[in-house]
Amino acid sequence: MIPTPFYLIDEARLLQNMQKIARLRELSGAKALLALKCFATWGAFPTMQPYLDGSTSSSLFELRLGREKFGGETHAYSVAWSDTEIDEAISYADKIIFNSLSQLDRFADKAAHIDCGLRLNPRFSTSGFDLADPARPFSRLGEWDMTKLMAALPRISGVMIHYNCENRDFDLFDQQLTRIETEFRDFLRQLKWVSLGGGIHFTGEGYPLEALAARLRAFAERFGIQVYLEPGEASITGAASLEVSVLDIIDNGKQVAIVDSSIEAHMLDLLIYRETAKLPQTGDHAYQIAGKTCLAGDIFGDAKFPAPLAVGDRVSIADAAGYTMVKKNWFNGVNMPAIAIRRADGNGTIELIREFTYEDYRSSLS
């Protein structure tokens, strides 16, 4: 048995998502690129590669990892490239998407031999959370001035529009795409490709995949463009858990089980968005599951079990693939969870693909 804590990627579940992506690509004609900022565990890339067209990035390192480890079509995006990064970035990229007209002005000549694009900000989004809302007031994420965008046309062949956030509502997606079609019609007609970014939850249970495919195909045909999608969360939703063990149980009016992990260090996104972890909820024995750092609010959430917990018991925290392994950190010097894959080979073979040690902690600082 692999010692806890470890992230456990379930290859069979991952493949279910991949098959939905492949079906959407086939029905819609859209291309799909894995957004590495959500999930960059490259040990799982061989499982994913056959179902995706490539990867997209938000920095030089993600871009390089995508080129080296994912392959296929590699899109480069960054909120701002530096002078020291740009040549290397262009050497890895099939397309480079500039966040602003000033970055395009600065670097378009260097990138003239590959496809260039701009980020278009439609000034609306589906994000209900200010922190992650690209359409928030004074947003720095993309351009919207039509006159300036039109003037940039000779230097770009496409745009990236990322405005969805875990959007499960196809009707809302449809309405917002219609709004984009209407507001940016004359501009879109002159492009070769449009990426609609990530945040469309089309691998979720019950999502009308066929309707989405038809809508994307209609969009592509109306404007004569190649559509791209950049699924992050949709690629890996439900495809991993965080396996932890109980280290101590404290009764402070509430039964608190302290586990060998930390929400702050290992599932930081939940803390930032003030969500609780997906914990077991069957049985009559209630516990608060808490992390082992000294942060008072290092709490995964409330759980229920069929029997009382004991020190050494294992707890599985669901939906731990997206924005977890890419965000884990060394807070409190708590060791990082290992990474393992349960193979879809019928035997449930669990393969340990990465372990972290004191040397990794030490070498992350100096």
In whole angstroms, how close is the CB of 127 to ligand PLP at the nearest point?
9
Q: Which is nearer to ligand PLP, 227 or 309 (CB)?
A: 227
**Nearer of residues 4 and 17 to ligand PLP, judged by Cβ:** 17
Among 21, 44, 234, 338, binds ligand PLP (CB under 6 A): 234
* Residue 270 in tokens: 């939940």
Q: Which of 5, 66, 117, 231 lies at the binding interface for ligand PLP (CB under 6 A)?
A: 231
Stretch of 11-19, 35-43, 172-180, 328-336 lying at the interface with ligand PLP (CB under 6 A): 35-43
90 in contact with ligand PLP (CB under 6 A)? no
Identify the sign of the CA torsion 197, 300, 361, 1.
negative
Q: Contact region for ligand PLP (CB under 6 A) — 3-11, 225-233, 282-290, 356-364?
A: 225-233
Q: Which is nearer to ligand PLP, 191 or 338 (CB)?
A: 191
Nearer to ligand PLP, 86 or 236 (CB): 236
By the rule CB under 6 A, 232 interacts with ligand PLP: yes
Does 37 bind ligand PLP (CB under 6 A)? Our answer is yes
Give CA 273 to chain center in angstroms.
15
Q: How far is the CB of 126 from ligand PLP (least distance, A)?
A: 10
Least Å from the CB of residue 232 to ligand PLP: 2
Q: From CA 149, how far away is CA 271, in angstroms rounded?
A: 38
Residue 292 binds to ligand PLP (criterion: CB under 6 A): no
| The token pair that represents 219 in the structure block | 């969009």
Which residue, 125 or 335, has its beta carbon nearer to ligand PLP? 125
Amino acid letter for position 80? A
Find the part of the chain contacting ligand PLP (CB under 6 A) among 33-41, 98-106, 267-275, 297-305: 33-41
Interatomic CA distance for residues 240 and 317, integer angstroms: 9
Q: Write down the least CB distance from residue 195 to ligand PLP, Å.
A: 8
Q: CA 163 → CA 42, 134, 189, distances in Å?
A: 26, 6, 20
Nearer to ligand PLP, 205 or 284 (CB): 205
Q: Are 187 and 145 in contact (CB under 8 A)?
A: no
Counting residues that bind ligand PLP (by CB under 6 A) gives 14
Work out whether 159 is an interface residue with ligand PLP (CB under 6 A). Answer: no
Does residue 53 belong to the site contacting ligand PLP (CB under 6 A)?
A: no
Residues 171-200 that bind ligand PLP (CB under 6 A): 197-199
Residue with tokens 């080296």: 68
Beta strands 314-317 and 240-251 are: antiparallel
Residue 35 makes contact with ligand PLP by CB under 6 A: yes
Binding-site ranges for ligand PLP (CB under 6 A) = 35, 37-38, 77, 162, 165, 197-199, 230-234
